[in-house]
Amino acid sequence: MEYSQFFEKKNKTIDDREFFCLMSDSPEELQELVREINLEIGSGFPNDWIYGVISEAFCALENDDLEDCLIESDLYNKDLIEWLHNSFALELCEETREQTYLPKMTIIDLISRAQNDCKCKIYEAVDEYMQEMEKVGDN
C-alpha cells in the first residue's frame, strides 16, 4: 500500500505556508503512528515539520529500502535556525551535543546533526511501520 497517498499538502490561511496533514480517510493505524511519532519526538501536539518528514519518509521508503534513502538535514543556515524554533529542537540539540560533541563543532553543525538524527528516527519509525503492515498483509 502507498501510505504517502494519505498525506495532503495544504496552505496555512495566516501566512500561506505549506504544511502536510493526514486526509480524513487515512487508516487508523497510520493516524496512530503519526500520533506516536509526534509524542515521541515532539510535545505530542501535531507539528508541521514532523508531519512533513513523515510524509517525506513514506514517499522515499515506498521506492527504496531505508539503507538506500538519503536522509539529510536542511542545507541553509536560515532553515536550520527556523527548525530550532520547534519546541523539541533544543532538547534534541542537547542530546546530540552530549553524544557527539566535537571540539570544533559549530552551533550550526550541532543543529544540523540534531535535525538529521531526528529525521533518521522518523524514517526508522516509518520503515518499521511499513514492514509491520506488510507482514499483516501477508497473513
DSSP 8-state secondary structure symbol assigned to residue 13: T
What does each C-alpha distance from 52 to 33, 56, 119, 135 come to in angstroms? 14, 6, 10, 26
How many Å separate Cα 2 from the centre of its chain? 17
Cell numbers standing for residue 31 = 493516524
* C-alpha–C-alpha distance, residues 40 and 109, integer Å: 23
Mean pLDDT of the chain: 92
Q: For 73-127, how does the pLDDT look when each residue is reduced to its tens digit (9 = 90+)?
A: 999 999 999 999 999 999 999 999 888 867 788 999 999 999 999 999 999 999 9
Q: For 23-49, how does the pLDDT look when each residue is reduced to its tens digit (9 = 90+)?
A: 999 999 999 999 999 999 987 788 999
Domain ranges of the chain: 3-138
Question: Is-above-0.85 flag for pTM?
Answer: yes
